[in-house]
Amino acid sequence: MLIVNQLLRMLKKSKYVEAVHITEGIHHSPKCVALAHADHYGLGEGVYLPDTSYPIDRPHPRCTSYLTYVMKPRKDGLFDDY
């Protein structure tokens, strides 16, 4: 997970992305498994706000965990201006 902190700074300004979701790596190392199953914000397991104070960048050496985006819900029609 290269330059995660820079990505999170960009996402804070995003109109569409609300949060990131971390999926544990294939080796199931305790550090990334703990991040993937923690619910610090009440948004679900592994979901972190872009202004997270939790260190989700490179949980351990050779980690294969990855991030996906949690999109903001739309108030009006879906996909109007995507």
Residue of 25, 48, 50, 70 interacting with Zn ion (CB under 5 A): 25
Q: Which residue carries 């999926």 as its tokens?
A: 23
- Pick out residues in 51-70 that bind Zn ion (CB under 5 A): 63, 65
32 touches Zn ion by CB under 5 A:
yes
Scanning 1-82, the segments in alpha helix (DSSP H) are: 4-11, 30-37
Task: Supply 44's token pair.
Answer: 């679900």
Task: Supply 39's token pair.
Answer: 């619910």
By beta-carbon proximity to Zn ion, the closer residue of 29 and 52 is: 29
Give contact residues for Zn ion (rule: CB under 5 A): 25, 29, 32, 63, 65
